[in-house]
Amino acid sequence: MTTRSIATSTVPRPAADTRELPDPRPLAENLARCVVEILSGTRDLDQIARWLSADVHAHLMKRVVLSNRARQARGEVPSRLTFTMGTTVLCEPQPGVVEAVVIVHGRARSRAVAIRLEVLGQRWRASAIHVL
């Protein structure tokens, strides 16, 4: 008799067809905009907490603390950034998962915000966010 191990996933998989879910593009673009503002100190992380997994929230909280310390060491105060949203590229590597890259152009530099959205019930939730 052979034994098989069954891998359980902590990420909920879609119960419904993903075509019934809202378009993930606006969420990815808004999350990218908000994350850039959060890291600059002009927006509070809790404003987007409902769209983040616990791991992403904890990761961004660490980044916020480091950004605040760096600003304090330089004697800077948080100020509103001037940036424009660039191209957004989406792909669906498997059903119920969307990966997006959003380009954010600032005055000094451009950044890419990589976001992985996964289905949670009848909505999308970010399971990974990285600012490059």
State which fold the 21-69+79-131 domain adopts. Answer: Nuclear Transport Factor 2; Chain: A, (3.10.450)
- Give kind and range of the element (H or E) at residue 103: strand 97-106
Smallest CA-to-CA distance from 40 within 75, 76, 67 is with 67
Return phi, psi of residue 80, to 5°: -65, 125
Q: Tens of pLDDT along 54-75?
A: 999 999 999 999 999 999 999 9
Q: Are 104 and 32 in contact (CB under 8 A)?
A: yes
Please determine, for residue 91, whether its predicted confidence score (pLDDT) is greater than 90: yes
pTM score, two decimals?
0.82
DSSP-assigned beta bridge partners for residue 20: none
Q: Which residues contact 31 (CB under 8 A, 6 or more apart)?
A: 48, 51, 113, 115, 126, 129
Give the residue extent of every domain in the chain: 21-69+79-131
